[in-house]
Amino acid sequence: MPANVASLAPEPFTRALRELGEMLWGQGLHIEEIGSPQRIAPHAVAISAELDGGDEPLATGRLILLHDPSGNTSWGGTFRLVSYVRAEVELEMVTDPLLPQVAWSWLTDALHAHGCSASELAGTVTASYSVGFGGMSDSDKAEVEVRSSWTPTLDATRTLTPHLAAWQDLIGYVSGQPILPHGVRTLPTGRA
């Protein structure tokens, strides 16, 4: 966010922006600031994420932080996080009737594991399978998508960083590939 815009924002939002800018994202996770919604809240910032998978990303996501200093009754607070995470998965996964509950638990478990103070959690889990025909006959794919939003409690002692870490974990869970911290390497599998 440009310095002149950040200087007009209230201190709780500028603190959250600073924490977002200082977040140490895991290996293979590429984060980029994108345009944010302008009419939902007076202050907003949005990022996109791609988890590197070689030719194609293993997972993609977006995270939007909204802030209304006056509060928003539907949020139950002054901040709101809105998340979207999508990944291609195996067909057997999208046909499992328990997938929606399991995928939702990935989010709630990640928030809990990072000690996030959050309320008003809402969202959807979508599992889909598409079949291509004709010139697109090689484009069959199965996907899972987790859309969610929650109200983080952010103040001098409860920061945005745990929520960012939980969102990062969610991307890893949805993709089936844990995101490793920088400097940590996986051990090779199999025999040489």
Query: Residue 135 — pLDDT band, cuts 50, 70, 90?
Result: confident
- pLDDT for 41 equals 94
Return d(Cα 49, Cα 168) in angstroms, integer: 9
Determine phi and psi for 41, rounding to 5 degrees.
-150, 155
Provide the mean pLDDT of the chain.
Answer: 89
User: Which candidate, 168, 184, 191, 189, places its Cα nearest to that of 85?
Assistant: 168
For 58: left if phi > 0, alpha if psi spans -120 to 50, otherwise beta; the answer is: alpha
- pLDDT for 80 equals 98
Return d(Cα 142, Cα 154) in angstroms, integer: 36
pLDDT at residue 2 above 50? no
For 122: left if phi > 0, alpha if psi spans -120 to 50, otherwise beta; the answer is: beta
- pLDDT for 145 equals 96
- pLDDT for 29 equals 94
Over residues 104-120, the pLDDT tens digits come to: 999 999 999 999 999 99
Q: Where are the domains of the chain?
A: 3-175
Percent of the chain residues past pLDDT 70, beyond the cut? 90
- pLDDT for 190 equals 59
Regarding pTM above 0.85, the answer is yes
- pLDDT for 91 equals 87
Let me know: does 51 contact 44? Beta carbons within 8 Å.
no
- pLDDT for 179 equals 76
Over residues 12-68, the pLDDT tens digits come to: 999 999 999 999 999 899 999 999 998 999 999 999 999 998 888 899 999 999 999
- pLDDT for 3 equals 42
